Amino acid sequence: MHNPYWRSRLANTPIVTYVLLAITVAVFIGETLMGGSTNNLVLVAFGARWNPLIVAGQWWRFVTPAFVHIGWMHIIVNGISLYYLGAICERIFGHWRFAVIYLVSAIAGNVAGYVFAPDSLSAGASTAIFGLMGAFLMLGDSFRDNAMVRLLSQQFAMLAVINLVFNLFSSGVDITGHIGGLLGGFLVAGAVGAPQLGQMSKARQIIMAVVLVFALMALLLLGRH
């Protein structure tokens, strides 16, 4: 029996955000039980970015670091950020577009870290979270006539700048991964569009998709050499 109420409720519930958060928490619990979330061997075992293993063929480490965290403060900050930013982003873009933005941003950030911070062991959802900020920057640029979207975009732009400035004065932070995630989020959000807000130029969407793919390919080739 057709029930528009439940369909509307499902569409407005950030299910993907909750699933991503649940996976992240489950992985952290696993890290803790297996020897601690600050143990490098445990972090690598659970999927942290470690370039020698990527070079050896473990390409999935461009995705898995987004679900691995180093210490309680790390997961608390990223978990809260994912909960709030993810819920807003998912309601605007829809479930599958949000999932694509989150995962592609994580990949973009980890590819950037792979190239520009090759000696670091890296983990955390920050690459993807910066990608969500980048997605809001794209919305502000594409739907600048929408006052609410423009305001949100300005707030997230300020948040991204503040975080990047803090990164400059923080040790052990992969700022290149954050910048990669931010730019990746901007491009992939432009590629998938936001039909709930309005139609975007198809030519622009295609161009942003092509730029994203070629940028990732260029970085991977640079990293290999």
Domain that holds residue 121: 4-224
Choosing from 105, 122, 126, 142, the catalytic residue is: 126
Candidates 89, 96, 31; CA nearest to 65 is: 31
Q: Which two tokens stand for residue 37?
A: 């979330």
Question: What is the full per-residue pLDDT of the chain (225 aa) written as tens digits?
Answer: 455 555 666 667 899 999 999 999 999 999 999 988 899 999 999 999 999 999 999 999 999 999 999 999 999 999 999 999 999 999 999 999 999 999 999 999 999 999 998 888 999 999 999 999 999 999 999 998 888 888 888 888 888 888 888 877 776 788 899 999 999 999 999 999 999 888 999 999 999 999 999 999 999 999 877
Structure tokens that stand for 132 in this block: 């969500």
Rounded (10°) CA dihedral 126, 131, 135, 140: 70
Q: Are 133 and 160 in contact (CB under 8 A)?
A: yes
Q: Which of 69, 74, 142, 178 is catalytic?
A: 178
How many angstroms separate the Cα of 60 from the Cα of each of 55, 56, 146?
11, 11, 38
Alpha carbons 180 and 3: distance in angstroms, whole number: 42
Q: Is 74 known to be catalytic? A: no
Cβ density class 20-48: b for 16+ within 10 Å, e for less: bbeebeebbeebeeeeebeeeebbbebbb
pLDDT value, residue 3: 56
CATH code, domain with 123: 1.20.1540.10
Question: Which phi and psi (to 5°) does residue 210 adopt?
Answer: -65, -45
- Helices 175-192 and 202-224 cross at an angle (nearest 10°) of 150
pLDDT value at residue 223: 84
CB proximity list for 36: less than 8 A, separation 6 or greater? 42
pLDDT at 1: 45
Separation between Cα atoms, residue 144 and residue 75, nearest integer Å: 34
pTM listed for this prediction: 0.92
pLDDT at 148: 86
pLDDT for 10 equals 67
Of 133, 113, 132, 104, which Cα lies nearest the Cα of 173?
113
Residue closest to 104 by CA, chosen among 72, 74, 127:
127
- Residue carrying structure tokens 């955000």: 17
Q: Is 69 in the active site?
A: no
In this prediction, residue 108 carries a pLDDT of: 98
Total tally of structural domains belonging to the chain:
1
**Predicted local confidence at residue 173, as pLDDT:** 80
